[in-house]
């Protein structure tokens, strides 16, 4: 089950549509869905998690905690709305386009996709673009 949680004033308006979309991504990648929590927060909230759990003293747009077991996807995906807004500005895309990209990005990590090398990042972007087209 996909749930949306809010630690900031922000909320998504189309939770059912987004949950269905994410579920379809998971199935398309050959996995099964379990409990997935999206937690929307601000920079301060995510920064504290980044320092406490990952020892990274930086701002980030997303942190995902993957509790998946085999082909069963489960985890917590924390997204900084402030960072997404700034990145949307920097990349000259709409806020919602960037938000949806970050949301599917977290799920694709759970499905085994990486983004540390140039080649891995290229594949990740390709997958993100593929699934973003399905949301529209």
**Residues annotated in a binding site:** 105, 109, 115
Residue indicated by tokens 């869905």: 33
Structure token pair of residue 95: 């806020």
Rounded to whole angstroms, the Cα distance separating 118 from 52 reads: 28
Binding-site annotation: residue ranges for Zn(2+): 105, 109, 115
H-helix or E-strand spanning residue 2: strand 2-6
Helix/strand/coil for 79: strand
Query: Burial, 60: exposed, middle or buried (Cβ in 10 Å; 0-12, 13-18, 19+)?
Result: middle
């Amino acid at each position: 089950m996909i749930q949306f949680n809010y630690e900031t004033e922000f909320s998504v308006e189309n939770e059912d549509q987004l949950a269905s979309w994410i579920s379809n991504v998971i199935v398309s990648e050959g996995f099964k869905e379990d409990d997935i929590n999206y937690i929307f927060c601000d920079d301060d909230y995510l920064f504290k998690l980044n320092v406490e759990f990952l020892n990274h003293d930086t701002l980030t747009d997303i942190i995902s905690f993957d509790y998946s077991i085999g082909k069963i996807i489960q985890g917590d995906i924390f997204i900084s709305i402030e960072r997404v807004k700034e990145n949307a500005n920097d990349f000259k895309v709409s806020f919602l386009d960037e938000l949806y990209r970050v949301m599917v990005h977290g799920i694709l990590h759970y499905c085994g996709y990486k983004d540390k090398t140039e080649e891995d990042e290229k594949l990740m972007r390709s997958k993100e673009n593929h699934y973003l087209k399905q949301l529209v």
